[in-house]
Amino acid sequence: MIRLLLVTIPPILRDVLRNIFDGQPDMEVVGEFDDGIDLLLAAGRTRADVVIVGLENTELPGICSHLLVEHPHIKILGVTADGRKAFLYELQPLKQMIGEISSEGLVAAVRSAMSGSAGPRSEA
């Protein structure tokens, strides 16, 4: 089971994401937070595999850098506020552009991140 945390995502987009992931037999949303500060504690407590975070722009919020250091196994999927683009972040820290997303594309990105086959990486 892939354990997901949703963090700092606008309410409407959060509802859409929850509906997408609730329909997946291998994924479970284990928490939702409006405040990034709660993220560090919640990541360890929930044993999250993937954190999906809302992005103001394409840059990773500072709290996520701390998260990657404290929990190097976690993958971070940043989703733009309009829900149209996503970026995958890992400890290195590298960012991979996922591009325009759909429900199927988002689910595939989470599965790829967990399998380690997220495709070619590029720093951005």
By percentage, how much of the chain surpasses pLDDT 90? 28
Domain-located, residue 44: yes
Domain-located, residue 72: yes
Domain-located, residue 121: no
**Domain limits at 62?**
2-115
Domain-located, residue 9: yes
Structural domains in the chain (count):
1
Per the prediction, the chain carries an average pLDDT of 82
Domain-located, residue 103: yes
User: How far apart, in Å, are the Cα atoms of 106 and each of 35, 38, 41, 78, 111?
Assistant: 23, 24, 25, 11, 9
Domain-located, residue 123: no
User: How far apart, in Å, are the Cα atoms of 117 and each of 8, 110, 121?
Assistant: 26, 10, 10
Domain-located, residue 10: yes
Name residue, tokens 């552009």: 97
- Write down the pTM of the prediction: 0.75
CATH at residue 93: 3.40.50.2300
Per residue in 39-51, pLDDT (tens digit) is 888 888 999 999 9
